[in-house]
Chains A and B, each alone.
Chain A
Amino acid sequence: MHDILSKQRNVAFYLTYLLVGAILFGFIAAFTLFAVYSERKIAGFVQDRLGPMETGKYGSLQTLADILKLIQKEYITPAAADKALFAAAPVIIFVAVFLGFTVMPWAPGMAPSGLYLGLFFVIAIISVDAIGLLMAGWGSNNKFSLLGSMRAVAQIVSYEIPSGLALIAAVMITQTLDLREIVINQGILTAERLLFAGVWDVTHIGGLFAWNTFQAPHLLLAYVIFFIASLAECNRAPFDIPEAESELVGGFHTEYGGLRFAFIFLAEYAMMFLVAMIGVVVFLGGWNTPLPNIGAAKLADWTTGLAWGIFWTLSKTLLIVGIQMWIRWTLPRLRADQLMALCWKVLTPLAFLSMAISGIWRVWVMV
């Protein structure tokens, strides 16, 4: 009897995990469809065009049609490719990004997995992406692919330093790596005492003022560094030299087609969402509302909750993703040496500076 019960509990346990995974995957797929559509529309509008208009009303079914086409296509492996690496690379690239979503908090008390080292886990698991890219480039046995993936790895490894340091600057303020706790301590649900800019007690006012970037204003600098570095980490313009269409055909995914290409693409957009969400969670209050309590108008109290949490997380993240797209269609690509110079000579020193300020802030202001 006891045995059956525990077995049932086991089954329920694994089913829950599968369900959460399926929901997350569904969300990523839906987000990718939406993001590709909006990317094409934004690109169109910025360039005084209309973007997709033919499939569905205002071209709204265009990306759905695209993915249907990709699913139907044949798997083509180049004759000289390393078959195992070539087939495994898209899986690794996607899984690395997908696993990053496991620790992201969506709303009060709602995170797929509560991990005390959440932030560390995310940074670590995103780095695995670089291995996938290198496998894709090497496995393709194509000079453009290999060049693209070499560039990607060089870029991702370099930019992990400023982005990591910027996150550490924030972690020094929050004193925890648990993403759930980081978010809770940026709003009215906190058990701690929150100070806006280190002087004004906003524990019960919440809203915008309690976000990490405003609790310690130098984190604004850290966020800008993190944002720029995150653009480089997800290989987006102006840091898209790994894909550089005009030089490298398609970079590391030149030889991919069909569903494999679809997964690389899915990972790219999931990565955009993930890095935007990390920035939102660590610096911009996560699921906390931007509206403060003003006297009798308890705006922050009214707009905090499960549904509100999801709403704020989504809208903040999508706003950041929108900014990523806006930047992509504005700025030209950096040269490889400019990219490295920006990372090592500007962003890394600035990140160290903000880390140092964090230390001072922690010792002198927050005591």
Chain B
Amino acid sequence: MTGKALIAVSGLTKHFGGLTAVEDLGLELFPGEILALIGPNGAGKTTTFNLIAGVSRPTAGSIALAGARIDGLPVHRIAALGLMRTFQHNMPFAGMSLTGNILVGCHTNCDGSLFDILLGRRRFRDREAAARRRAAELTEFVGLQERIDHDVSTLSFGEGRLLELARALAGEPRVILLDEPAAGLTQPEMARLGTAIRDIAARGIAVLLIEHDMHFLFPLAQRIVVLNFGRKIAEGTPEAIARNPLVIEAYLGEAVGGVVARPAHA
């Protein structure tokens, strides 16, 4: 990879009491790149996500976003710096409209002081209008425009996933973290998600994803980092990872080597 890393993690370690969830992890994520984090359950993938997103603080090590340290900052500050995420389990704002949900994603772009809001300052009104245009665009981007008037609680699981993606994109992130985006999706929904993720990366956004579905992941990811017991055991292109004996032993198993040869959607 050339250019400067958008996310640079080094020496990242997290202990939960006596348990070491992540140990001495280093990884770099570049603009426009799709990087996947894989490994068996309990390997520390979600813990790594939570450390990067600021949900929990690392025991040791550093995390930088575009060269500036973000470890130790609260979640909302990290989000405001351009790091957005989706969750393993959908977390919609169930009492709000679909557009309202996406507009929350725009929060840092249209938040103002209470006085700005009450006085209806021009600058504030313009940002609000821009956010609404963006929400409409994103609804179309993820293909939910037909559901725009529906109650969020009536969306299918897959549609909920796409809504989360639109909501995360609304904040115009530089980095997006996707925690098992394909889990529970139907084949057509997965294809739609794969296309959306490629489009996102093509816009220059760095994508870091956790995924268990190798048929979905291998054709999509440019690079894969494999975790086992909190440690990085391999890193490389999907082709290299699929042939790596350590990875096959720890996670993939013998049979999956052929995945790379037959892309899930081509």
Q: Do A and B come from one complex?
A: no
Residues of A within 8 A of B (CB): none
